[in-house]
């Protein structure tokens, strides 16, 4: 009797959890399907090879595309990762491995503040720090703004990924007469690497979708830069910010291109996750 | 022969750093005092973990620390290679001498002390991302020793010493975590032996092992005695009486009695020791 009831409850609980999972997945599914349906028509060869130009191009059926946006997003996002990953992982190591260090209360406060700060304020920060002194909007300023978005996420996830490694592993390393930094670098970090990678990917996905911090840092650009340095030192187009300006434009053709930009943005994040996962599991197998 | 020379210079001399000569060489003779604590106390915040322990540890002998749970055996053991440096709120007072030199003196680097005084923990702790091979030589490889021939030799020697060689020699590249619990513990011992410590601290090394593995590790300790000074914490009084030369009985943070094992288990000085050993409490 009692056993039967427990069994039934177990089934019920499983049913509730499955329903909740499906409920979470439905909106995601709707978003993906809707974006793809709306934007698929604008995805053609020109989309990946031509720059946007003036709205007249789209209206008159001339060559137009978002190659400069796709490339710009890659430049800005990768540069942001380059800035945020070492700093974020460093801060996470500091918080987890040296909890008694004098600087840690300040570091934690800064990190929490940065984490809670609205993204648009991070754009403003990068504007004040980079755009003002440089006198121009730039891809570099956009990368700094996105690095501010990534930094607290990476620091947090790194800290928690390291904290779950049992203390005994650290002691085992120390007992071999290894210095503290060596124990962290060679035993703790490799053990926590899946957690670290997940943190980096989450930070990337989050930052890749941010338009607000880019509006007055990388600003946007309808054309490819005339010189390669323009990717870093001049205004650069990025997908979320381009998506926004396409969407608020009065041109039907641009609306469709905006949806297509959404498809690319979604795919970039998904591809990044897949590559990240594969690279990580691959490195585990390859290591002897 | 050349390799043996290389090992001497790389393993024995380099990592251990400065050693006092003369007096130390004399101390190292069989049966002489290798380590000595003087009024050693360990405080956790305001609580005292171990109180005022003065205890000699004899060279090339096995010293067993016994006593009921929470009596401070492990706390005392961890004070012998400055493991408490890593515990928040723990403070050590008094002295712990290694070859006549206080390991808590301000100029002493705890990293070098831990090189000379190795430790094996209660639970096996293989490094999860490393192969069996890399686990054994972690203490050498991670300080920059890359000589493959030397590392190969150390792996074989250490695994032989830990009675694990025959079981793993064909799969040295497999992850350390793929071994059984008993094998993992012997791997942990091999890893500790690979850096050739002068003193080996063992914190209940057999408590998670089956009788057969326990027997092997006890045999191993008897063999190692000729090269290493061993201090072992054990809950198992038969084990203490089987393997040790001296036994120290701890009770609520105090050292109650320290005597040769034979005397301790046949005719102890203290009533409390006798009560504990005969199972009247503990």
Residues β-bridged to residue B201: B119, B231
Determine the pLDDT at residue B47: 77
Is A208 a residue whose pLDDT tops 70?
yes
Q: How far apart are CA A192 and CA B229, in angstroms?
A: 35
Nearest to B81 among A175, A186, A288 (CB): A175
**Which residues fall within 8 angstroms of residue A65, CB to CB, at 6 or more apart?**
A46, A47, A48, A49, A50, A51, A52
- Mean pLDDT score, B144-159: 94
Nearest to A177 among B131, B139, B173 (CB): B139
| CB contact (8 A) between residue A175 and residue B118 | yes
Is B219 a residue whose pLDDT tops 50?
yes
Closest residue on chain A to B195 (Cα) = A176
- Dihedral of CA atoms A109, A113, A115, A119 in degrees, nearest 10, equals -160
Chain A closest-CA separation from residue B81 CA (Å): 8
CB A146 within 8 A of CB A214: yes
Closest of B56, B63, B7 to residue B27, by C-alpha: B56
Cβ-based neighbour number of residue A42 at 10 Å = 23
Which pair of structure tokens corresponds to residue A107? 């570091």
Is A288 a residue whose pLDDT tops 70?
no
Q: ∠ CA A109-A115-A120 to the nearest 5 degrees?
A: 125
Mark A120-132 as b/e (b = at least 16 C-beta within 10 Å): bebbbbbbeebbe
- Dihedral of CA atoms B97, B98, B101, B104 in degrees, nearest 10, equals -60
- Number of continuous H segments (helices) and E segments (strands) in chain A: 15, 0
CB A207 within 8 A of CB A145: no
| CB contact (8 A) between residue B114 and residue A172 | no
Q: Please state the pTM of the whole predicted model.
A: 0.83
CB-CB neighbors (< 8 A) of A99 in chain B: 88
Mark B59-77 as b/e (b = at least 16 C-beta within 10 Å): bbbbbbbbbeeebbbbbbb
Closest of A195, B119, B186, B116 to residue B176, by C-alpha: B186
Q: Express as a percent the part of chain A with pLDDT over 90.
A: 88
Closest residue on chain A to B171 (Cα) = A288
CB-CB neighbors (< 8 A) of B120 in chain A: 175
Determine the pLDDT at residue B52: 92
CB-CB neighbors (< 8 A) of A100 in chain B: 88
Chain A closest-CA separation from residue B276 CA (Å): 30
Backbone angles phi, psi at B37, to 5 degrees: -100, 145
Is B161 a residue whose pLDDT tops 90?
no
Instruction: Kindly list the residues of chain B whose beta carbon comes within 8 Å of any beta carbon in chain A.
Output: 15, 81, 83, 86, 88, 111-116, 118-121, 123, 125, 127-131, 138-139, 142-143, 173, 188, 191-192, 195
- Mean pLDDT score, B178-191: 91
Is A206 a residue whose pLDDT tops 50?
yes
Nearest to A191 among B114, B129, B131 (CB): B129
CB-CB neighbors (< 8 A) of A193 in chain B: 129
Which pair of structure tokens corresponds to residue B271? 């009533």
Determine the pLDDT at residue B9: 38
The 10s digit of each residue's pLDDT in A75-124 is 999 999 999 999 999 999 999 999 889 999 999 999 999 999 999 999 99
Helix B211-224 crosses helix B181-194 at what angle (to 10 degrees)? 10
Is A178 a residue whose pLDDT tops 60?
yes
Helix, strand, coil percentages (3-state) for chain B, rounded to 5, are 40, 25, 35
Q: Express as a percent the part of chain A with pLDDT over 70.
A: 97
Query: Is A28 exposed, middle or buried (CB count within 10 Å of its CB: 0-12, 13-18, 19+)?
Result: exposed
CB-CB neighbors (< 8 A) of A182 in chain B: 142-143
- Pairing verdict, β B90-98 and B101-102: antiparallel
Is B203 a residue whose pLDDT tops 50?
yes
- Interface confidence, given as ipTM, is 0.85
The 10s digit of each residue's pLDDT in B66-83 is 999 888 999 999 999 999
CB-CB neighbors (< 8 A) of B136 in chain A: none
Lowest mean pLDDT among B18-32, B142-156, B157-171: B18-32
Closest of A37, A64, A44 to residue A52, by C-alpha: A64
CB A217 within 8 A of CB A141: yes
CB-CB neighbors (< 8 A) of A171 in chain B: 83, 86, 119, 121, 125
Which pair of structure tokens corresponds to residue A42? 């604008």
Determine the pLDDT at residue B207: 87
Q: How far apart are CA A70 and CA A79, in angstroms?
A: 14
- The domain A45-286 belongs to what CATH superfamily? MetI-like (1.10.3720.10)
- Mean pLDDT score, A260-280: 88
Where are the domains positioned within chain B? 2-277
Separation of CA A231 from chain center: 19
Nearest to A176 among B129, B130, B191 (CB): B191
Determine the pLDDT at residue A220: 95
The CATH architecture to which B2-277 belongs is 3-Layer(aba) Sandwich (3.40)
Q: How far apart are CA B74 and CA B233, in angstroms?
A: 7
The 10s digit of each residue's pLDDT in B8-67 is 434 443 333 344 444 455 445 556 899 999 999 999 887 778 999 999 999 999 999 999
Residue B213, CA distances (Å) to A209, B164, B184, B187, B243 in order: 56, 10, 11, 12, 15
| CB contact (8 A) between residue A174 and residue B118 | no
Nearest to B195 among A99, A170, A176 (CB): A176
Chain A closest-CA separation from residue B10 CA (Å): 15
Cβ-based neighbour number of residue A7 at 10 Å = 10
Q: Using H for helix, E for strand and C for coil, what is the string for B248-261? A: EEEECCEEEEEEEH
Q: Express as a percent the part of chain B with pLDDT over 90.
A: 66
């Amino acid at each position: 009797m009692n056993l039967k009831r427990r069994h039934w409850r177990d089934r019920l609980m499983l049913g509730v959890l499955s329903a909740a999972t499906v409920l979470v997945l439905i909106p995601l599914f709707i978003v993906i399907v809707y974006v793809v349906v709306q934007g698929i028509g604008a995805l053609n060869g020109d989309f990946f090879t031509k720059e946007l130009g003036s709205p007249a191009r789209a209206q008159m059926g001339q060559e137009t595309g978002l190659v400069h946006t796709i490339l710009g997003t890659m430049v800005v996002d990768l540069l942001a990762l380059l800035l945020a990953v070492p700093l974020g992982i460093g801060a996470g190591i500091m918080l987890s491995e040296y909890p008694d260090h004098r600087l840690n209360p300040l570091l934690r406060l800064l990190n929490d503040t940065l984490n809670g700060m609205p993204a648009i304020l991070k754009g403003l920060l990068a504007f004040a720090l980079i755009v003002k002194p440089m006198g121009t909007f730039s891809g570099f300023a956009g990368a700094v703004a996105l690095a501010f978005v990534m930094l607290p996420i990476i620091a947090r996830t790194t800290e928690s990924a390291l904290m779950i490694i049992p203390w005994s592993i650290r002691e085992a390393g120390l007992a071999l007469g290894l210095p503290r930094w060596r124990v962290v670098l060679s035993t703790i970090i490799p053990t926590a690497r899946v957690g670290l990678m997940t943190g980096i990917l989450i930070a990337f996905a989050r930052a890749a979708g941010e338009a607000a911090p880019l509006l007055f840092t990388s600003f946007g650009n309808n054309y490819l830069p005339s010189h390669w340095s323009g990717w870093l030192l001049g205004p650069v187009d990025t997908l979320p910010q381009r998506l926004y300006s396409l969407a608020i434009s009065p041109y039907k053709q641009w609306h469709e291109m905006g949806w297509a930009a959404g498809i690319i943005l979604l795919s970039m994040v998904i591809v990044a996750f897949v590559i990240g996962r594969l690279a990580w599991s691959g490195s585990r197998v390859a290591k002897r | 022969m050349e390799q043996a020379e290389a090992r001497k210079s790389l393993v024995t001399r380099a990592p251990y750093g400065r050693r006092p000569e003369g007096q130390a060489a004399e101390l190292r003779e069989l049966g002489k005092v290798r380590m000595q604590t003087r009024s050693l106390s360990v405080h956790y915040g305001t609580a005292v973990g171990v109180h005022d322990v003065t205890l000699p540890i004899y060279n090339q002998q096995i010293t067993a620390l016994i006593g009921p749970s929470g009596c401070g055996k492990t706390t005392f053991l961890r004070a012998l290679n400055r493991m408490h440096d890593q515990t928040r709120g723990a403070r050590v007072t008094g002295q712990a001498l290694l070859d006549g030199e206080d390991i808590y003196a301000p100029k002493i680097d705890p990293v070098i002390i831990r090189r000379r005084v190795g430790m094996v923990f209660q639970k096996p702790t293989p490094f999860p991302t490393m192969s069996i091979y890399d686990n054994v030589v972690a203490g050498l490889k991670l300080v920059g020793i890359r000589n493959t021939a030397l590392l190969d030799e150390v792996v074989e020697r250490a695994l032989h010493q830990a009675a694990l060689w025959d079981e793993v020699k064909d799969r040295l590249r497999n992850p350390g975590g793929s071994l059984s619990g008993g094998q993992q513990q012997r791997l942990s011992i091999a890893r500790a032996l690979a850096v050739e410590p002068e003193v080996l601290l063992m914190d209940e090394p057999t408590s998670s092992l089956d009788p057969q593995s326990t027997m092997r590790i006890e045999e191993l300790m008897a063999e190692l005695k000729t090269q290493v000074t061993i201090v072992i914490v054990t809950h198992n009084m038969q084990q203490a009486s089987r393997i040790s030369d001296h036994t120290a009985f701890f009770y609520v943070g105090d050292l109650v009695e320290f005597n040769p094992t034979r005397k301790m288990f046949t005719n102890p000085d203290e009533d409390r020791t006798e009560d504990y050993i005969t199972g009247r409490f503990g």
